[in-house]
């Protein structure tokens, strides 16, 4: 029995969809189901049970002997979150509990970290698991810091030879886009937010640049298709891969201008772009460049090519966004 926390969310529901392809797998989804539409992410999945976050510790106490793996994707994932207690309780304290529980049960534990832990990138994007290098990172927001806090805690556990799960991995996801992100509101990718505008010939708005090194729309991100994230998780589930923290990005930074051009190409329409002022409250904490270093995961044995931006956007648009089958 596999538990997927955040299993109704964006990345989590895509992982659940893949696991459920094998009907021999019994999947427990732990997530909140509020007034959002993320329940639709699970609408055609065979799930053993749904556990609400406040029920998780009791569930593990009662049925823990049947749990074979924990995939911990659940988090407060908004980069604009300001509730420190909520972020710490969810992204740090719960993660610690699940790590320690997995260590006690001697089962694998895989969790979502984030590229937001790297801050503005001034100290690089190296995932070589060197705790001293990690301590030099300066996340730009509460979300990134709460994820970074757990990464450091994990590395310290390992450094001190304290009990650890049978196998473990922290996944530093970069800028993920793809199916099942529709419930995320303003946190959706620019693809999901703008494909109808491009179809209708409306203007797509991108932020102006406030650094002379970057022209408007030329800010760079490592955009990764959610299918690749699922592929990495499947790789971890498939054998005895080395434990560690891994970047999950393509290793190639692309501009926001590129992203919108790929969207237009997939739709078959030239996008109309307007550059607008960036809100003052995010100017100081805005990342102008992210690019995953992928040597660590490649050395560990992951050998599946990452999807190009052109192919990923094309697949997302044609298979999901402009069809009646939005959900995986």
Average pLDDT over residues 245-260: 98
Instruction: Tell me the residue length of the chain.
Output: 328
pTM: predicted TM-score of the whole model, two decimal places: 0.95
**Residue 240 confidence (pLDDT):** 86
The chain-wide mean pLDDT, for the chain, equals 94
Of 184-188, 212-216, 278-282, highest mean pLDDT: 212-216
Q: Which residues are catalytic?
A: 143, 184
The structural domains of the chain, ordered by start, are 2-177+223-250+292-307 (3.40.50.720)
Average pLDDT over residues 256-280: 96
44-53: long-range pairs with CB below 8 Å, 24+: 44/327, 45/13, 45/16, 45/17, 45/20, 46/20, 47/16, 47/20, 48/1, 51/3, 53/5, 53/94
**Residue 170 confidence (pLDDT):** 98
**Residue 77 confidence (pLDDT):** 73
């Amino acid at each position: 029995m596999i538990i997927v926390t955040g299993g109704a969310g964006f990345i989590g529901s895509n992982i659940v969809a893949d696991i459920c392809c094998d009907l021999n797998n019994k999947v427990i989804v732990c997530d909140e189901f509020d007034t959002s539409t993320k329940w639709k992410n699970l609408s055609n999945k065979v799930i053993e049970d749904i556990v609400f976050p406040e029920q998780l510790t009791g569930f593990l106490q009662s049925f823990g002997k049947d749990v074979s793996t924990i995939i911990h994707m659940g988090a407060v994932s908004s980069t604009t979150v300001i509730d420190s207690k909520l972020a710490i309780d969810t992204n740090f304290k719960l993660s610690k509990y699940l790590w320690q529980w997995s260590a006690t049960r001697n089962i694998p534990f895989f969790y979502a970290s984030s590229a937001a832990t790297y801050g503005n990138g001034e100290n690089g994007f190296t995932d070589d698991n060197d705790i001293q290098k990690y301590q030099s990172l300066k996340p730009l927001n509460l979300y990134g810091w709460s994820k970074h806090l757990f990464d450091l805690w994990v590395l310290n556990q390992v450094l001190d030879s304290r009990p650890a799960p049978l196998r473990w991995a922290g996944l530093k996801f970069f800028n993920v886009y793809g199916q099942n992100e529709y419930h995320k509101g303003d946190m959706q990718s620019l693809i999901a937010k703008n494909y109808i505008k491009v179809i209708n010939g409306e203007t797509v708005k991108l932020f102006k640049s406030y650094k002379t090194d970057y022209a408007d729309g030329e800010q760079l991100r490592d955009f990764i298709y959610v299918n690749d994230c699922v592929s990495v998780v499947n790789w971890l589930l498939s054998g005895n891969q080395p434990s560690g923290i891994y970047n999950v990005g393509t290793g190639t930074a692309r501009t926001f201008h590129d992203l919108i051009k790929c969207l237009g190409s997939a739709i078959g329409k030239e996008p109309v772009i307007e550059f607008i002022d960036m809100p003052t409250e995010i100017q100081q904490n805005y990342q102008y460049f992210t690019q995953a270093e992928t040597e660590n995961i490649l050395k560990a044995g992951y050998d599946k090519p990452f999807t190009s931006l052109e192919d990923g956007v094309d697949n997302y648009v044609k298979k999901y966004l402009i069809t009646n089958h939005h959900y995986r």
